[in-house]
Amino acid sequence: MDEPLEILVLDDEPIVCTRIKPSLEKAGYQVEIMTDSVRALDRIREKRFDILITDYRMSKVTGLDLLNLQKQIWPDTKVIIISGYATLEVARKALQSGVYDFMAKPFRLYELKEVVERAAQTIRAARQSQRPET
């Protein structure tokens, strides 16, 4: 079996994190949750996650800032933005900045899981192609 993929979930609202965590863990992912966006910036700097799930609108740092940082440091990380203030404009910006997918809150847990699953497949496929000899 493959190494479990690592996911960071970031949202101001603790309930969003605590709902997502067990759902993804049960699907076999390793999940870390954070509610403080500034600390999350540090965490992203020090550790590479396979997937980042982040809120769009947070008090100090926006999801877009995070996305940009993420793309600079770990360009391969798939970023999924979740937002309760979903406008076309937000979605457009996010997609232009290279976000993997965009979800409007509220969403169903299995919908998120499907998106994560898709991202995971892409990641695993990319890894396979990088290591053809193994």
Partner 1 sequence: MARWWQSLFHKSERDRLQSLRTLFEKFHEILDLNNAVLNLIADMGEKLSGDYVFDAHYIESAVEELNDLMYRIIYNLNSITDNRNLALYDAFERIRKRILEELSPTPTRAGELVLPLDRVTRDLEDLVGKKMSSLGEIALRLGGHVPPGFVLTTHAYRRFMDQAEVRDFLEETFDALKRGLSPEEASERICKVLTQAKVPQEVERALQPHLAALREAGHRWFAVRSSALLEDSELSFAGQYRSFLQVAPDQILARYKDVVSSLFSPEVIEYRNRHGLSHLDTAMAVGVLAMAPSRVSGVLYTRDPEMPDSNVILISAAWGLARTVVEGRGQADFYKLSRAHPAGASRLLESRVAEKTTQWLGQGEGGEKEVPVPAELRNVPCLSESDIEKLADIGDRLEMLFRRPQDIEWTMDESGAIHILQSRDLRIRTQERIAPEAVAEAARARPRIMENAGMVACRGIGAGKVVHVLEDADFARFPKGAVLVAKSTSPKLSRLIPLASAVVTDIGTPTGHMATIAREYRVPTLVDTGRATQLLAEGTEVTVDAEERVIYSGIVKELLQFQATEEHPFPDAREFRVLRRVLHQVSPLYLTDPESREFTPENCRTYHDITRYSHEIAVRQFIEFHLRGSKWKRVPMFRLSLPVPLGLVVIDLGGGIAPDTHGRVLTPDAIASRPMKALLIGLCAEGVWKTNPVDLDFRSFMASLTRTAHTASMDPHRTQNLAVLSNEYMNLNLRVGYHFNMIDAILTENRNDNYIYFRFLGGVTEMTRRTRRARFLGEVLNHYDFIVEVKGDLVVGRIKKISRPMMEDRLAMLGRLIGYSRQLDVLMRSEEAVDTFVREFVLSRHSGPPPRPKED
Interface with partner 1 (CB under 8 A): 4, 11, 13, 15-16, 18-20, 22-23, 25-28, 82, 84-85, 105-110, 112
Q: Which is nearer to partner 1, 14 or 98 (CB)?
A: 14
CA 40 to chain centroid, in Å, comes to: 12
CB of 18 to partner 1, least distance (A): 4
Strands 30-34 and 51-55: unpaired
Q: Which is nearer to partner 1, 98 or 110 (CB)?
A: 110
CB of 75 to partner 1, least distance (A): 27
For 13, 86, 130, the CA distances from 81, given in Å and listed in that order, are 14, 10, 27
Crossing angle of the two packed helices 63-73 and 88-96, in degrees rounded to 10: 10
Q: Which is nearer to partner 1, 10 or 112 (CB)?
A: 112
- The type of residue at 114 is E
DSSP 97: T
Q: Which is nearer to partner 1, 41 or 86 (CB)?
A: 86
On the CB side of 32, how many CA atoms lie within 13 Å of its CA? Answer: 17
CB of 101 to partner 1, least distance (A): 15
CB of 105 to partner 1, least distance (A): 6
